[in-house]
Amino acid sequence: MSKDNLYSEDYWQDLISRYFEAETTPEEETSLKQFLVSEEGRASKFDEVRAVMGFLATGRKESVSKTHVYTNKFTFIKISAMAACLITGFFLIGQFLISSYAPKDICLAYVDGRSITEREEVLQLMKKSMDNIVSEETIEDEMFNQLSDMFDTPTR
């Protein structure tokens, strides 16, 4: 004699009523499902219960799969955001390290194919070059040349 045969039809009707009122335990729901697939539970008077339980089981599966898809999208977005933060952090740290370890205020001049890095010598060469530029033309001559260039009309 099987376990399902131990219970009367009144027990199953009571269990079905309690199921629709959401008062059953998970164990009772499992035994109700097992009853509904048994010989006695396949009677036409239990068709509505089987239909509702089947519909709810299908709805739960779809709900779980939609939640899973949403969870996957959310996980992808979280991982992408963390990757973007890491890349930005590495970029900022790199910029900081480059700027802090880069030599500053380098004086460098190339004269006759040789490089000069001594600060005083570079400054002297710069002053000498500036003196040569100022001594070749006066400021008035430079202004006259620039203004005449601006107002000359091109001829064809």
The domain spans of the chain are 4-54, 109-151
pLDDT band, very low/low/confident/very high, at 100 (cuts 50, 70, 90):
confident
Say how far residue 98 (Cα) sits from the centre of its chain.
Answer: 27
Average pLDDT over residues 35-50: 80
Higher pLDDT, 137 or 22: 22
pLDDT of 81 higher than 70: yes
- HEC readout, the chain: CCCHHHCCHHHHHHHHHHHHCCCCCHHHHHHHHHHHCCCHHHCHHHHHHHHHHHHHHHHHHHHHHHHHHHHHHHHHHHHHHHHHHHHHHHHHHHHHHHHHHCCCCCCCEEECCEEECCHHHHHHHHHHHHHHHHHHCCHHHHHHHHHHHHHCCCCC
Which of 3-12, 19-28, 88-97 ranks highest by mean pLDDT?
A: 88-97
Q: What is the pLDDT of residues 49-63, one digit of tens each?
A: 888 877 776 665 555
Give the pLDDT score at 89: 92
Average pLDDT over residues 23-41: 84
